[in-house]
């Protein structure tokens, strides 16, 4: 009996640690999506990322380091405005986590950019992959966003010109 307990105990501890790591990853991912939804804490959002970040936008075939990613996302840009009927910029529909990664799926609410209303008739669906380092910072972020046709056309043109 003692032998069976000694054999099972490490397995129980391993499952317990993995479960705890999953909960921590889920909390980190939820913090990311909450900050993204509110889009009012640029400094806090930037603090979620590791210095060695690799960001990829699958559709546009972009790959950035941390500084270039912040220039690309650029929340302080005054050309972006939330829609008055949609105080949150996105809706997270599903979140799957492992011990060190998370995949969030959802869509963007309507918003204004350069005065033009976007994502009203065509909600931009997204899937975002987040990979966390040992310190709980995002070391890799991959966006797959279903941009509207006009954006897809410009993405195709920019790829052709590469």
DSSP 3-state assignment of 44?
Answer: helix
The beta-carbon contacts of 105-108 under 8 Å, at least 24 apart in sequence, are 108/145
Domain hosting 95: range is: 2-160
Spatial distance between the Cα atoms of 88 and 109, rounded to a whole number of angstroms: 7
Q: CB of 139 within 8 A of CB of 54?
A: yes
Instruction: State yes or no: pLDDT of 150 exceeds 90.
Output: no
- Position 18 scores a pLDDT of 47
Q: For the whole model, what pTM was predicted?
A: 0.81
pLDDT tens digits for 3-30?
555 555 454 444 444 455 677 999 999 9
If you count them, how many residues does the chain have?
Answer: 162
- The residue whose two tokens read 């501890």 is 13
Q: How many domains does the chain have?
A: 1
Q: CATH number, domain at 17?
A: 3.10.450.50
């Amino acid at each position: 009996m003692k032998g069976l307990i000694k054999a099972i105990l490490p397995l129980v501890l391993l499952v317990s640690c993995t479960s705890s790591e999953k909960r921590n990853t889920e909390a980190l991912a939820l913090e990311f999506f909450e900050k993204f939804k509110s889009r009012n804490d640029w400094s806090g959002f930037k603090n979620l990322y590791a210095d060695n970040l690799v960001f990829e936008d699958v559709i546009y075939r972009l790959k950035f380091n941390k500084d270039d990613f912040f220039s690309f996302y650029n929340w302080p840009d005054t050309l972006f405005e939330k829609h008055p009927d949609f105080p949150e910029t996105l809706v997270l529909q599903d979140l799957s986590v492992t011990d060190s990664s998370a995949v969030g799926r959802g869509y963007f609410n309507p918003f204004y950019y350069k005065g033009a209303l976007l994502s009203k008739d065509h909600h931009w669906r997204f899937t975002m992959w987040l990979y966390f380092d040992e310190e709980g910072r995002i070391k890799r972020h991959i966006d797959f966003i279903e941009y509207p046709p006009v954006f897809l056309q410009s993405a195709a043109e920019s790829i052709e010109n590469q």
